[in-house]
Amino acid sequence: MELLFWHAQPGNHRDPKEFYNNYLSLSRGIDYALANGEIPSNVHELYLLVKQICQLKHDERSQATVMVLMVSIKGVCEIGWFQIKESEELLVIVDEVGKV
């Protein structure tokens, strides 16, 4: 997860292909855990990472990647992975990302 946090830091040079691959991989991992009824032990880190990702300026290609990730996040918010306040914040972000 350290690499994902690094990619989400403003000002870090990101290889777009690596950015897309890493975050699509994260989305697939979330979907896999969701489908198998698993809740990762580092859910709070995931919450912090998603908030950090969504604060970055995104080009059209990365917006699609973020949207895929946010669809996965919406699913886990709805089943209670996060605290209520965290879920509410993330669902607001999901709505904002969907309007772009």
85's tokens? 């306040």
Interval 7-44: pLDDT, tens:
677 776 667 788 888 889 999 999 999 999 999 999 99
Interval 60-87: pLDDT, tens:
767 888 889 999 999 999 999 999 999 9
* Model pTM score: 0.84
Higher pLDDT, 97 or 77: 77
Please enumerate in sequence order all residues whose Cβ is within 8 A of that of 70, keeping only pairs 6 or more positions apart, or say none: 50, 54, 93, 94, 97, 98
